[in-house]
Amino acid sequence: MMDEAATALDPMIRTAARKGSQRHSEEAPPRRLGRVLSSQQFWDLMERWRVPDAIALELIEFPGKLGKQGKRPRFRFTTRQQRITSYLPEIDAALAAGGKDHAWLHRKIPGSPFSRRTPVEHMVTHGMEGMAEVLQILNRAVMRAALDKRGA
């Protein structure tokens, strides 16, 4: 009798477990990668990377636009924008570690995942996922360079 009850509950348990895992993945926001930038640090980095102000605002998913005179808006980062900006210093550090200049961010790259777009365009189009991909590519380049030096 106990086995019949357990067997009857199995589909319900599996469904509840599946719904629970889906709910967790939908509710759990992605964690910050590293340190969060202040708005001044963000603008300093965008100037160093030579990213135009309008594109920089798209990069952090800012809902507004530049002022009529092209003046940068004053704002505080939302939680999502803080997560987004946490990728930027990591990307900057990976550029430096890989010996790549900031111009790399503006070069059209034919291969995957860029498909003839620049890394900046890729990050704007794909948000945090795009930033994670750019960081992963840079980190791989750093690792390859370190292994090449070690083997030489």
What is the 3-class SS of the chain, one letter each residue?
Answer: CHHHHHHHHHHHHHHHHHHHHHHHHHHCCCCCCCCCCCHHHHHHHHHHCCCCHHHHHHHCCCCCCCCCCCCCCCCCCCHHHHHHHHHHHHHHHHHHHCCCCHHHHHCCECCCCCCCECHHHHHHHHHHHHHHHHHHHHHHHHHHHHHHHHHC
Residue 127 belongs to a domain: yes
Residue 8 belongs to a domain: no
Query: If we measure between CA atoms, which residue out of 40, 36, 43 comes closest to residue 59?
Result: 43
pTM above 0.75, yes or no: no
Q: Which of 25-39, 59-73, 111-125 has the highest mean pLDDT?
A: 111-125
Per-residue pLDDT for 116 more than 50?
Answer: yes
Supply the range of the domain harboring residue 129. 39-151
Residue 89 belongs to a domain: yes
Per-residue pLDDT for 135 more than 70?
Answer: yes
Residue 17 belongs to a domain: no
Residue 1 belongs to a domain: no
pLDDT digits (tens, 9 = 90+) for 3-26: 554 445 455 444 444 444 444 444
Residue 88 belongs to a domain: yes
How many structural domains is the chain composed of? 1
Residue 21 belongs to a domain: no
Over range 80-104, report the average pLDDT: 93
Residue 99 belongs to a domain: yes
